[in-house]
Amino acid sequence: MGDLNGLLSTVGAGSVDAAGGGAGPWWAVLVPLLPLLSAVLCGVCAAAKVKSKLPAWITVGCLAGSFVTAVMMFMSIQGHGALTTTAFEWINFNWTAPGGEAQSFIANFGLRLDNLTGLWMLFVTGLATLIALYASEYMSHDVGKGYSRFFFAFSLFVFAMACLVMADNLILLYLGWEGVGLCSYLLIGYFYTKPSAVAAAKKAFIVNRIGDLFLALGIMLCYVHFGSVEYAVIFEKTAPYLAMLQEGRIGDIPALVQLIPALLMIGAFGKSAQLPLYVWLPDAMEGPTPVSALIHAATMVTAGVFLIARTYPLFLVSEYALPVVAWIGALTALLAATIGMAQFDIKRIMAYSTVSQLGYMFCGLAVLSATGGVFHVVTHAFFKALLFLCCGAVMHGFAGQLDLRKLSGVMSMKGWGIVGVGMLVGCLNLAGFPFTAGYFSKDMILAESFVTPGMAPIGWILLLTAGLTAYYTFRVFFRVFVGPQHAEPGEEFHAEDPAHGADVAEEEHFAEEARHAHGHSARGHDGHPHGDHAHGNHGHFHPHAPGWAINTVLAILAVGSLLAAGLYFMGDHGGFVGSKLHGTTAEIVTTAEGHTAAAYLGNEPHAGEHSFLGLGDPHKVMYYVSAVVGFIGIAIAAVLHGPKGLGGLMLGSRTEAARSKADNLLPAMGPIAKWAQHKWYVDEFYDLVIYRPLRGISHVFRLIDQFVVDGFVALAGWLPRAIGRSVRPLQNGELHGYAVGMAGGIAVLLLIVLLAVS
C-alpha cells in the first residue's frame, strides 16, 4: 500500500513548492467562508426577528454553494500533491531567541488542499446541505422562535468543521476543533428550557474539554519539538524519523516525538467519543435530530479520525500509539454495541452504534488500514445520517415517541414508505449486509486487523461486534418498522414545548418504566386494536407523515448509501478512497522488508502468508466470514423480534408492539441484561470515581474557604471591633475624663520632647 517515496514527495510538496506543490486555487476559501456568510446572515435574521423560513433557505443555499465549491476544489487538485491556499496572514510572530537564533510562530489562515481534505469536505458539505434541507421542515414548528438560532449554529458548525479539516496548521485546526465543540454545545442545548438538554450540553462540553486539553498540549509539544505548527514543516521534519523507521532504527526516534501522538490521541478520543470519554455522545441526542445526524453521527465525531489520519506520520513513528488506538477502538466498539443491544430508545441505540462504528474507524487507522478507516468514515457518514434522519422522521411524526416498545409496523402506515425503505437501507449498511457500502468498508478493517502482526484479537473483537451490530440494528427495524401497526404518541403530544422529552423521563425512570411497560402497553392495545392509538384522555392521535423535504433527503441519502458501495470498485489502490488517499499523509509507510509502523516492527512481517483460521488470505476470506456473521445477527434479531407472517419470511412471532421473544430470554441472562440497559453503569462509575471525589474535595475547599479564608477576613473585621469594645469604657461621656486625657496627653508629649532634647 503505497511507498515511502510517495509519502516523502507529499511531505515535500507541502513545504515550499516542490513538484506538484504550490498555491491552490483562491476560491477554495469559499468552502469555509460561505457557511460563515450563512451564519452571519442567520444572525442578522435572528436580530431582525424574521418570522419565515428564510434562514433555512439561506443556509441551504450557502451550503450548497460550499458543496459545489468543494467538488470543484476536489476536481482541481487531482494530480497535484498538496496545495496551499492562504486566505490571510493570521498569526505571525518573529523574534530572536536568547541564543541569537531566529524563531517564529506562524499560523496563517491557510488551507491545505489534498485528497484527504477533499474527501472530508465532500461529505461534510454534501451531508450538511441535505440535512439543512431536512431540518428546514423538521424544525418548522420553531419558525420565528429558535429557527434563526438553529441555522446560525448549524452554519457556524460547518464553517468550524471546514476550518478543522482544511487547516494547514494545527492552530487553525484547533480553532475549528473548539468551534465545532462550541456549536455542538449550542445545538445540544438548543431546547434550553429543558433541564436534561442543558445537562447534556454541559456534559458534552466538559467531557470534550478534557480531550481538548490534551490536544492543546499535543500542539504545544509539536511546536516545542518541531518549532512550527504548520503541517508542511512538521511533516518535513518527521521525514527523517520515517527514514529511521524504514531502516529499523526506532531507538533513534526521540521519546518526545512518541509523546506527541499520545496527546493528540486523547484529544481525538474526546471528540470522537471513544473510551473513556464516550459518555457525552449518547446524551447529546437531546439536541434536535438533524443535529444528531450531522454533528453527532456524520461529521464532527469523525474529527478525531481525521486528526489521526492527518497526523498519521507522527503515529507511525510512535511505538505505542497505534496499538493503544486499536485496543481503545475495539473495546469501545464492543462496549457500545452491548449497550446498544439493551436500549429501547431508537435514537439512543443509533447513538451507541455511532460510538461503536467510530471504534471501527479508529481500529482501521490503527491496524494500518487507513483506507478502510477513511472509507468507513465516508460510508458511515451517509448511512448513519440516513438512519438518524429516519429516526428523526419517526420522532417528528409520532410526537417525540422513540421507544421501540410503543411503535410497530410504521413502514406499512400510509406515507411512511420512504422512511421505512430508507431505514432498511441504513440498517443493511450498518449490519454489513453483503454488497452494501458498510459491508465493504467494514471488511477492509476486519481483514487488515487479521493481517497486521499481533492484532488478531482486535479482529476477533471487531468480528463479534459486527454480529452484535447486525442484531441490534435489525432489532430496531423489526420492532418499529414491520409487524402489526401500533403507535402511541410521545410526550410532545398536546404539549406546547416542541422538545422531544421522552428521553429524560425514560432515562430517569428506566427501571420503573420497564417494569410497567408490559401492562401499560397491553391495556392500550386491548382498548384500541387498530394502529391509530390514543390515550383516553388525550383524544385521538394521528401521526403525520413526513413532507417532501424529509422524503427527498431520505431518498437521496438512501440512494447515496447504496451507491457508495460502488466506490469500492473504483481505482486501483483499495477502491476510490484508497486511490485518493494515495499520496496523502494518511498513507501507510511500508519498508523494504514489509515493516510498517514502529509499533509493529519486530513482529512477524506483513506478508501474504497470513491466513484466517487456515482458510486462506484474510482479505478474501473476510468477505464470507463477515457476511455470515452479519446474517447470523440479522437472523437472531428476526427470531427474537421479528413479527409473525410476511409470507413465512420472518422467523419471529411478535404480535404486539411491547413484547417479543427476547423478553423470555431476559431471566436466563440474569443481571447482565439489566447492566447493559444501564450502560454498564459507566456513568455511575464516573460519578463515583471522578464526580464524587471532586465534589468531596470541593466541599473540603469550601470548608477551608469558609473557615480559613473567611476567617482571616472576619478577623480583619473582628479585631478592630474587639479593640473598640475593650477601649470603649474610656469613652465614658464625662467631660472631665476627656479633659484629663487631653491635658495629660499634652504633658506626656512635651515630656517626651523634653527627654529627647536633653
Partner 1 sequence: MNTMTDLTHLLAQTGFPDSMGSATLAHYLFVSAAMFAIGLIGFVSRRNLIIMFLCTELMFQAAGIALIAFGRFHLDFTGQTFVIFVLTVAAAEAAMALALVVLLFRRKESLDAGEWAELKG
Partner 2 sequence: MEQFIHPLVLYTACILGAAGICLALPRRAGGPQLIGAFIAAAAGGIAILAMSLKAGPAALPSIYFYIFAAVALGGALRVITHPRPVYAALYFILTIIATAGLFLILSAEFMAFALIIVYAGAILITYLFVIMLAMQAPAEGEVEVLTEYDTKAREPLAATVAGFLLLAVLTTMMFRGTAEIAPVATAAQVDSLLDDLPRKVERVLENHNMLEEGEKLALAAPDGGPAIDGAAGIIWVEGGAEPRIIERADWPEEMSVKNIEGLGFNLLRDHPGTIEIAGVILLMAMLGAVVLSRKQVQMDEEAKMRQARLLSGDTSGEAGA
Can you give the binding site for partner 2, defined by CB under 8 A? 736, 740, 743-744, 746-748, 750-751, 753-754, 758
Shortest Å distance, C-beta 734 to partner 2: 8
SS3 540: coil
* Binder of residue 206, out of partner 1, partner 2, none (CB less than 5 to 8 A by kind): none
Beta strands at 102-113 and 407-408: parallel, antiparallel or unpaired: unpaired
Smallest Cα–Cα separation from 141: which of 393, 498, 398, 391?
A: 498
Contacts of 339 (CB under 8 A, 6+ apart): 352, 676, 679, 680
Q: What are the grid coordinates assigned to 503, written together?
A: 428521553
Shortest Å distance, C-beta 714 to partner 1: 22
Shortest Å distance, C-beta 742 to partner 1: 9
Look up cell 447486525; give the residue. 470
Which one of 735, 754, 756, 757 is in contact with partner 1 (CB under 8 A)?
Answer: 735
- Residue 453 preceded by cis peptide, ω within 30: no
Query: Closer to partner 2 at the Cβ: 689 or 742?
Result: 742
Shortest Å distance, C-beta 707 to partner 2: 46
* Binder of residue 754, out of partner 1, partner 2, none (CB less than 5 to 8 A by kind): partner 2
* Binder of residue 751, out of partner 1, partner 2, none (CB less than 5 to 8 A by kind): partner 2
Query: Closer to partner 1 at the Cβ: 592 or 748?
Result: 748
Backbone phi, psi, residue 613, to 5°: 50, 35
Residue 731 near partner 1 by CB under 8 A? yes
Count of all residues that appear for the chain in the document: 758
Shortest Å distance, C-beta 746 to partner 1: 10
- DSSP class of 230: B
CB 113 within 8 A of CB 84: yes
Q: Kindly calculate the radius of gyration of the chain based on its CA atoms and give it in whole angstroms.
A: 31
Contacts of 280 (CB under 8 A, 6+ apart): 200, 203, 204, 206, 207, 208, 273
Q: Which amino acid, one-letter code, is at 420? A: G
* Binder of residue 758, out of partner 2, partner 1, none (CB less than 5 to 8 A by kind): partner 2
* Binder of residue 750, out of partner 1, partner 2, none (CB less than 5 to 8 A by kind): partner 2
Query: Closer to partner 2 at the Cβ: 716 or 735?
Result: 735
* Binder of residue 628, out of partner 2, partner 1, none (CB less than 5 to 8 A by kind): none
Residue 734 near partner 1 by CB under 8 A? yes
Shortest Å distance, C-beta 712 to partner 2: 41
Shortest Å distance, C-beta 717 to partner 1: 18
Distance from C-alpha of 165 to C-alpha of 199, rounded to nearest angstrom: 29
* Binder of residue 714, out of partner 1, partner 2, none (CB less than 5 to 8 A by kind): none
* Binder of residue 689, out of partner 1, partner 2, none (CB less than 5 to 8 A by kind): none
| Region near partner 1 per CB under 8 A, out of 390-398, 424-432, 442-450, 735-743 | 735-743
Query: Closer to partner 2 at the Cβ: 719 or 750?
Result: 750
CA dihedral angle for residue 600, residue 603, residue 605, residue 609, rounded to 10 degrees? -120
Query: Closer to partner 2 at the Cβ: 52 or 732?
Result: 732
* Binder of residue 732, out of partner 2, partner 1, none (CB less than 5 to 8 A by kind): partner 1
Query: Closer to partner 1 at the Cβ: 511 or 747?
Result: 747
Look up cell 469523525; give the residue. 302
- Binders of partner 1 among residues 670 to 729 (CB under 8 A) are 724, 728-729
Distance from C-alpha of 550 to C-alpha of 419, rounded to nearest angstrom: 9
Query: Closer to partner 1 at the Cβ: 708 or 750?
Result: 750
Q: What are the grid coordinates assigned to 487, written together?
A: 403507535
- The Cβ-side half-sphere exposure at 755, using a 13 Å CA radius, reads 5
* Binder of residue 730, out of partner 2, partner 1, none (CB less than 5 to 8 A by kind): partner 1
Distance from C-alpha of 231 to C-alpha of 112, rounded to nearest angstrom: 9
Which one of 694, 743, 750, 751 is in contact with partner 1 (CB under 8 A)?
Answer: 743
Shortest Å distance, C-beta 751 to partner 1: 15
Neighbours of 141 (CB within 10 A): 12
Shortest Å distance, C-beta 711 to partner 1: 27
Shortest Å distance, C-beta 730 to partner 1: 8
Query: Closer to partner 1 at the Cβ: 47 or 727?
Result: 727
Neighbours of 400 (CB within 10 A): 21
Distance from C-alpha of 206 to C-alpha of 466, rounded to nearest angstrom: 31
Beta strand ranges found along 97-233 (DSSP E): 102-113
Distance from C-alpha of 333 to C-alpha of 362, rounded to nearest angstrom: 10
Query: Closer to partner 1 at the Cβ: 251 or 729?
Result: 729
Shortest Å distance, C-beta 724 to partner 1: 8
* Binder of residue 731, out of partner 2, partner 1, none (CB less than 5 to 8 A by kind): partner 1
Contacts of 184 (CB under 8 A, 6+ apart): 157, 204, 205, 208, 284, 295, 296, 300
Shortest Å distance, C-beta 738 to partner 2: 12
Query: Closer to partner 1 at the Cβ: 648 or 729?
Result: 729
Query: Closer to partner 1 at the Cβ: 414 or 721?
Result: 721
* Binder of residue 224, out of partner 1, partner 2, none (CB less than 5 to 8 A by kind): none
Distance from C-alpha of 429 to C-alpha of 442, rounded to nearest angstrom: 10
Q: What are the grid coordinates assigned to 723, written together?
A: 479593640
CB 234 within 8 A of CB 173: no
| Region near partner 1 per CB under 8 A, out of 243-251, 441-449, 503-511, 732-740 | 732-740
Neighbours of 351 (CB within 10 A): 28
Distance from C-alpha of 80 to C-alpha of 724, rounded to nearest angstrom: 85
Query: Closer to partner 1 at the Cβ: 519 or 745?
Result: 745
Contacts of 420 (CB under 8 A, 6+ apart): 410, 411, 412, 481
CA 624-626-632 angle, 5° bins: 100
| Region near partner 1 per CB under 8 A, out of 190-198, 264-272, 677-685, 733-741 | 733-741
Shortest Å distance, C-beta 734 to partner 1: 5
How many residues bind to partner 1 according to rule CB under 8 A?
A: 13
Secondary structure in 3-state letters for 554-615: HHHHHHHHHHHHHHHHCCCCCHHHHHHHCCCCCCCCCCCCCCCCHHHCCCCCCCCCCCCCCC
Query: Closer to partner 2 at the Cβ: 697 or 750?
Result: 750
Query: Closer to partner 1 at the Cβ: 594 or 744?
Result: 744
Q: Which residues bind partner 1 (CB under 8 A)?
A: 724, 728-736, 739-740, 743
